């Protein structure tokens, strides 16, 4: 069934979620300039959920055009705090700035997933989770960055909730899988409906 399902993402977390759920799939990550698209849409006044949805759709469509018979999953996640969109940090220095900005505040994780087939989007979902970081001392941030290592560079919030990152929070509200970057239960429901996975 590997040819029937494709993940259009380079995210190791999304791939692990699908693998752990027992899905047989291949990975084909599109090359798109996400930052340029975000900046363009922000200039046009787009909302964070529309940006996440557009990026997820673009990824799914780009790969679907190459594999027109397959079901292609595209996904994107955007972090919003105080009206500002955060992107993945380029290095640990930027990760520290992100954590200092998020410390003691609530932020939204906007996660979008789009499934395409035959070059057209046939399903979409946008979910929002709300997380509140506790007040982080400079010493804690230093220690956290040292222990977490380069894992902090792989997520918009500089954390993996399923690991050391859980220690950053005082409150978490929302679907666990949405926080990890893919609304997995909804995706599975769709795939089951279309007999991509057993029902």
H or E segment to which residue 193 belongs: helix 184-193
Nearest to residue 136, comparing CAs of 167, 103, 169?
Answer: 103
CA atoms within 13 A on the CB side of 167: 11
Decide: helix, strand or coil at residue 126. strand
Catalytic residue (choose from 50, 76, 143, 151): 76
Q: Helix 92-102 crosses helix 138-148 at what angle (to 10 degrees)?
A: 130
Identify whether 53 is a catalytic site residue.
no
The CA radius of gyration of the chain, in Å to the nearest whole number, is 17
Transcribe 119-179 into DSSP letters: TEEEEEEEEEEEEEEPPPPHHHHHHHHHHHGGGGGGSTTS--TTTGGGGGEEEEES-HHHH
Measured in degrees and rounded to the nearest 5, phi and psi for residue 179 equal: -65, -35
Contacts of 94 (CB under 8 A, 6+ apart): none
Could you list the active site residues? 76
């Amino acid at each position: 069934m590997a040819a029937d399902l494709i993940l259009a993402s380079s995210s190791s977390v999304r791939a692990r979620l699908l693998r752990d759920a027992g899905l047989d799939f291949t990975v084909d990550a599109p090359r798109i300039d996400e930052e340029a698209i975000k900046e363009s849409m922000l200039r046009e006044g787009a909302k964070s959920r529309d940006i996440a949805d557009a990026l997820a759709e673009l990824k799914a469509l780009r790969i679907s055009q190459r594999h027109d018979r397959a079901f292609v999953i595209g996904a994107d996640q955007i972090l919003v705090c105080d009206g500002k969109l955060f992107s993945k940090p380029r290095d640990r220095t930027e990760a520290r700035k992100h954590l200092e900005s998020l410390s003691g505040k609530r932020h939204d994780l906007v996660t979008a997933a789009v499934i395409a087939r035959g070059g057209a989007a046939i399903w979409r979902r946008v979910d929002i989770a709300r997380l509140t970081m506790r007040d982080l001392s400079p010493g804690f941030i230093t220690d956290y960055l040292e222990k977490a290592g380069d894992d902090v560079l792989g997520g918009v919030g500089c954390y993996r909730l399923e690991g050391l990152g859980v220690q950053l929070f005082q409150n978490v509200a929302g679907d666990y899988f949405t926080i990890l970057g893919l609304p997995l239960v909804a995706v599975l429901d769709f795939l089951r409906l279309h007999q991509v996975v057993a029902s």
